[in-house]
Amino acid sequence: MTPWTLIESAENPDGMRLELLGRGPDFLLYALTDGIVDGYFPVLDAIEDEIDALQDDVIAKPTSWTLERLFALKRQLIALRRAMSPAREIFNQLTNRDLALVKPEHIVYFRDVYDHLIRVTDELDNDRELVAGTLEVYLSTINNNLSTIMKRLTGVTVILAGIGAVGGLFGMSEAGAALGGAEAGGFWVVVGFVIVGAALTALWLRRIDWI
């Protein structure tokens, strides 16, 4: 019979003896703290599910919202860790010292709470490591995307630089004369050469995944 079952069974209109309180204030303390500590596990499960979802978002398409949620989770985990660490030390003292406040036969119950606190703090540490790792993946993904953009801009610059070099060599006056019919056919040969060269350069950059 769990402590909370004892509490529920003790609530009756006939004024039956309160079994939980009858076992002493130390057992009442155990019942309350056990329920509080066990309530952390669903919270940790929800946090782990959110971390998994954020990891998928980081890999698929990282956004500023993803970064905000990661920092918010990091703050939540730090706050939970700060709240749980003193409680674990308190129960460690209660289970390892002969205190008149705790009956010897109730030590095992407090050890159970202490074990749960250890599990909670371990899961908190694991979740913090997952969040930190997800942040690193986010930054790496952003840097990789930036590198991809820079490569594409560089590839476009190479193509335009070649065209600009030829255009600067001949000058705009040559183009005006060619359009007016006063220029020899060699101008159009050069234009065709520039277009073919730009196309071949674009194909080569595309092959090496620069554009």
pLDDT tens digits for 152-173? 888 778 777 777 777 665 665 5
Q: What is the pLDDT of residue 108?
A: 85
Mean pLDDT of the chain: 77
Q: What is the pLDDT of residue 4?
A: 43
Q: What is the pLDDT of residue 13?
A: 33
Does the pLDDT value for residue 11 go beyond 50? Answer: no
Q: Do 141 and 54 form a contact (C-beta atoms < 8 A)?
A: no
* pTM confidence score: 0.63
Long-range (24+ apart) CB contacts under 8 A made by 139-144 are 141/58, 141/59, 141/62, 142/62
Q: What is the pLDDT of residue 194?
A: 77
Q: Measured between alpha carbons, how far is 211 from 154 in angstroms, rounded to an integer?
A: 9
In a 3-state reduction of DSSP, which class is residue 180? coil
Q: What is the pLDDT of residue 186?
A: 62
Q: Measured between alpha carbons, how far is 9 from 19 in angstroms, rounded to an integer?
A: 8
Q: Do 18 and 5 form a contact (C-beta atoms < 8 A)?
A: no
Span 171-199, mean pLDDT?
Answer: 65
Quote the DSSP letter at residue 97. Answer: S
